[in-house]
Amino acid sequence: MAISKHALTGVPLNEITVKRKQLTRQEAVTVHIMAHEGHSYTDIVQQLGTNANRVGEVRRGEVHPDSAKIALNLLLAKRKGFGGARTNKRQSGHSRT
């Protein structure tokens, strides 16, 4: 991704690759997860290629109100799986003697 410069001022400009006028449910879930991960409001807006109003609607629950719960469930599932699989001390086929 090359950084272009403004034709008159020479100021470096970021390339805009994604523009969203509205957010899908999955994108709304991503908003909540990114906020939980500590991303700034501005970074969430820019990385999703939308404007602050759309992200605000999601965060306030005005749009895709179920997205916060979905995000929480995903985060909890990730946390449970993070420690690795637990092994059962008693494995079938092995007897104590």
Q: Supply the DSSP string of 41-65, one letter for each residue.
A: HHHHHHHHT--HHHHHHHHTTSSST
Is residue 89 domain-resident? no
Position 87 scores a pLDDT of 44
Q: Give residue 83's pLDDT.
A: 60
Query: How much is the pTM?
Result: 0.75
Residue 33 lies in a domain: yes
Q: How confident is the prediction along the chain (97 residues), in pLDDT tens digits per residue?
A: 567 999 999 999 988 899 999 999 999 999 999 999 999 999 999 999 999 999 999 999 999 999 999 999 999 998 888 764 444 444 444 444 4
Q: What is the pLDDT of residue 88?
A: 46
Domain span at residue 32 reads 15-65
Does residue 46 fall inside a structural domain? yes
